Amino acid sequence: MIVTIDGPAGAGKSSAARQLAHRLGFEFLDTGAMYRAVTLAARAADIDARDEAALAQLLDGLRLEMPDDKVLLNGADVTLAIRDPDVTAATGQIADSPVVRRWLGARQREIAAGRDMVCEGRDQGTVVFPDAACKFFLVADPVERARRRQAELAAKGTTVSLEDLLAAQTRRDERDAARDLAPMRPAADALQLDSTQLTLTQVVERMEMEVHRCRTGASISSTKSSGSSAIPPSR
């Protein structure tokens, strides 16, 4: 069974996907990490993100593995390197590339084939797994998302202004939503959740309920009409 979680930067997708997968006994796929890893490889090879032929050649010889929450690029552990702010800023351009999207989409389907998996990203419910059994689109107020990110960075001893974080976040979201190929948007059959006023646990509980509903084949519209309070479901 495939569960997809898409949505903008900083809405809490990764944490929710990881916890939901744990509760369900599913595996978890962070597809953003895959785009970041390809970006790192392209930067190391000094490839222009618009050079489709060079990117195709790069991907031809690329080994991308994701064992146990780690990201390995041709065998080297790049788990931390892909979180570098320069890589974060450059990933949007690489993610615009048709050749990269095709290659990563195929890898994601290969990895998930025959498995129970929570797949998190921007295009999982729309393009990569259009037939997923249960789909979510997780959003949160932009200022709240930037605040959460600021707190995360502060906990690691890094001070960044809210304005700078908000500006970078907005740039990423706008680019991800505007791309011609696989733009970030909710799938028509995704349940949209707003995490602004919710704890991570509340988000995950709500998702888990929904997955059980999807599993038993109950219609999601019954959630709507039940007037369930924690998160108003909207589509």
Q: Which of 26, 28, 35, 137 binds ligand C5P (CB under 6 A)?
A: 35
Is residue 122 at the binding interface for ligand C5P, with CB under 6 A as the rule? yes
Is residue 123 at the binding interface for ligand C5P, with CB under 6 A as the rule? yes
Q: What share of the chain is helix, strand, coil (3-state, %, to 5)?
A: 50, 15, 35
Q: Which stretch binds ligand C5P (CB under 6 A): 120-128, 155-163, 197-205, 227-235?
A: 120-128
Is residue 126 at the binding interface for ligand C5P, with CB under 6 A as the rule? no
Is 135 or 172 the residue whose CB approaches ligand C5P more closely?
172
Q: Which stretch binds ligand C5P (CB under 6 A): 25-33, 51-59, 188-196, 211-219?
A: 25-33
Q: Which stretch binds ligand C5P (CB under 6 A): 70-78, 116-124, 150-158, 203-211?
A: 116-124
Is 178 or 209 the residue whose CB approaches ligand C5P more closely?
178
Return d(Cα 129, Cα 109) in angstroms, integer.
8
Is residue 97 at the binding interface for ligand C5P, with CB under 6 A as the rule? no
Return d(Cα 171, Cα 99) in angstroms, integer.
23
Return d(Cα 78, Cα 72) in angstroms, integer.
6
Which residue carries 């960044």 as its tokens?
Answer: 160
Q: 58 — phi, psi (to 5°)?
A: -60, -45
| Residue 59, both tokens | 């991907």
Q: Which of 37, 41, 95, 146 binds ligand C5P (CB under 6 A)?
A: 95
CB half-sphere exposure, 93, CA atoms < 13 A: 16
Is 31 or 192 the residue whose CB approaches ligand C5P more closely?
31
Q: Which stretch binds ligand C5P (CB under 6 A): 26-34, 132-140, 161-169, 192-200?
A: 26-34
| Residue 166, both tokens | 């908000």
Return d(Cα 69, Cα 29) in angstroms, integer.
9
Q: 154 — phi, psi (to 5°)?
A: -60, -40
CB of 222 to ligand C5P, least distance (A): 30
Is 33 or 78 the residue whose CB approaches ligand C5P more closely?
33
Return d(Cα 221, Cα 157) in angstroms, integer.
45
The interface mask with ligand C5P, positions 55-94, x = CB under 6 A, is: ------------------------------------xx--
Alpha carbon of 200 to those of 14, 18, 77, 120: distances in Å? 11, 11, 28, 15
Q: What is the contact surface with ligand C5P in residues (CB under 6 A)? A: 9, 31-33, 35-36, 91-92, 95, 121-124, 172, 176
